[in-house]
Amino acid sequence: MEHLYAKTIEHDSCNLWQGAVNSAGYATRRFNRKNEYVHRLTYARERGTVPRLLRNLCGHKHCINPYHWEALQNLRQYNTDTRTWFDVAV
């Protein structure tokens, strides 16, 4: 996992991804012919779960610091707060 952080630059407490991003601006990498969200890899590794819904907290969609993302239980919870971005696992 450390090799993922090697592709970031630190900014405040963020780890900003310098690799590819998708059209929505999220950090991605190509693995086994699939695109993966890099923040989901670091989140799963360091926090132990892979939530279906994640919301970005720091305002940098390409940040892969797992503590800058929080799990949401459902979209209704998201809809009460439209300030931040979120993504849904497919």
Burial class of residue 83 (count of CB atoms within 10 Å of its CB; 0-12, 13-18, 19+): exposed
| Residue 79 beta carbon to Zn ion: minimum distance, rounded to whole angstroms | 23
Q: Is 61 among the residues that bind Zn ion (CB under 5 A)?
A: no
Residue closest to 1 by CA, chosen among 25, 26, 33, 36: 36
Q: Which of 56, 38, 51 is nearest to 1 (CA)?
A: 38
Site size for Zn ion (CB under 5 A): 6
Asked if 68 interacts with Zn ion (CB under 5 A), we say yes
Cα gap 17→65, rounded to integer Å: 10
Is residue 14 a contact residue for Zn ion (CB under 5 A)? Answer: yes
* 70 binding Zn ion? (CB under 5 A): no
Task: Closer to Zn ion by CB, 6 or 33: give it.
Answer: 6
Where do contacts with Zn ion occur on this chain (CB under 5 A)?
14, 58, 60, 63, 65, 68
